[in-house]
Amino acid sequence: MGFFEKIKQAFSGDQQPKEDAETQKYDQSLEKSRNTFGAKLNSLLANFRSVDEDFFDDLEETLIEADVGFETAVKISDELKQEVKLKNAKTTQEVAETIIQKLINLYEQEGQGEDNQLHYAQAGPTIFLFVGVNGVGKTTTIGKLAFRLKKEGKKVLLAAGDTFRAGAIEQLAEWGKKVGVSVVQKPAKSDPAAVVYDAVKKAQKENYDVLLVDTAGRLQNKVNLMRELAKISRVITREIPAAPQEVLLALDATTGQNALSQAKQFKATTPLTGIILTKLDGTARGGIVLAIRNELHLPVKLVGLGEKMNDLQDFDPEKFAAGLFGQLLAKNYDA
C-alpha cells in the first residue's frame, strides 16, 4: 500500500487517527504549511468551473506559491492534465483529491531508494561534516545532535571549523558546555583545516565515537568556500580514509525557494550525503521538501521540529506526508 492509500485510509471517516508522540510532533510542526497550502487550494477551487487550460495555469501558480518548486509545479500540472482526464474528475472534490494524490505519489516516487539514515563507522570515530550558510541553524543543529548522541551513550567531540564568522567559535563552545561535550577550537581567523586536523587526532587518540565538524558558509565567495571544504575533507580522509561518513547541508525551511537555491549551489561545490531541514515548525513552506526530492535528489536526514533540545528528529517521509496532506484529504471540498 502506497503513502496515499495509507493516509487516505487513516484520515477517512469521522475518527482522526491515533498518533504516537513523533507523529503528533510532525502534525503540529506542519500545521502552518498545511493551513497555507489548504488556503491556496481552497482559493484555487473556489472559482472552479471546469478543468481547462486556465485551471491548470492557476494550479501551476498555486503550487509555485506553495514552495514546491517551479520544476515540480510544472511536472505535477502536466501529469495532472492526463490524470484528471483518465479519472474523468469533474466535481471539486474529485479534482482536489486528484491534485493531493498526485503530490503525494510524486513525493513518494522521487524518494524511492532514498537513504534517510545517518551512517556511522564500523570502527573508530565517525565524522559528520556540517555545511550551510550563516543563520540557518547549523551550529544549533550540531549542539542538539551532540545532545542526542550523548544521551545514546556515545562519546562526542565538536570541532569549531567556522573560524571566520564573528562569534561562531564561542557559540559552538557554549553548546559544548550546555551539552557537556569537549570542543576543539583555535583563535578566530585560524586555518579551519588545522582545527579539523587537531580534532581528528584527538578523536582517534581519546577514543571518541563521533566527531561533529562545524564549517564556514560564505556563499558569496564560492571558489574559496569550495577550496576550504575540499581541504577539510582531504585532511579528514587522509587520517581516516572512510570518513567523513556524512556531509550534511543545513537549510532553513522558512526561506523556501532560497533554501533550494542554496542547496543547488552547495551541491555544485561539495559532495553532499543529505539535508538537515531546520525550523520546519516555524514555517508555512513545508512544501520545500517536495522540491528538494524532485529537483535535488538528496535525502532529508534530520528535521528541526521545535526549539527544545530533543526537537531534532530523524526525517520520516511517511509521517511528513501525513502531516502535510492528511487533514486536507479528509476535507469535503463540495460542502
What are 260-286's pLDDT values in tens digits?
888 888 888 788 999 999 999 888 888
Residue type, 11: F
At residue 204, the pLDDT reads: 97
**Residues contacting 158, CB < 8 A, separation 6+:** 142, 146, 172, 175, 176, 181, 182, 183, 184, 199, 211, 212, 213, 214
Task: Provide the pLDDT confidence category of residue 15 given band limits of 50, 70 and 90.
Answer: low
Q: How far is CA 56 from CA 33, 261, 333, in A?
A: 22, 25, 18
pLDDT at residue 294 is higher than 70:
yes
The Cα 249–Cα 266 span in angstroms is 8
pLDDT at residue 75 is higher than 90:
no
Entry pTM: 0.92
pLDDT at residue 313 is higher than 90:
yes
Task: Provide the pLDDT confidence category of residue 215 given band limits of 50, 70 and 90.
Answer: very high
Task: Please state the rounded mean pLDDT for residues 175-180.
Answer: 97
Question: What mean pLDDT, rounded, does the chain reach?
Answer: 89
Residue 49 Cα to chain centre, angstroms: 37
pLDDT at residue 310 is higher than 60:
yes
Task: Provide the pLDDT confidence category of residue 129 given band limits of 50, 70 and 90.
Answer: very high
- How are strands ordered across the β-sheet holding 182-184? 182-184, 156-160, 210-214, 126-131, 246-252, 274-278, 300-304, 312-314
What are 239-253's pLDDT values in tens digits?
999 999 999 999 999
Share of the chain above pLDDT 90, in %: 50
At residue 130, the pLDDT reads: 96
The Cα 184–Cα 125 span in angstroms is 15
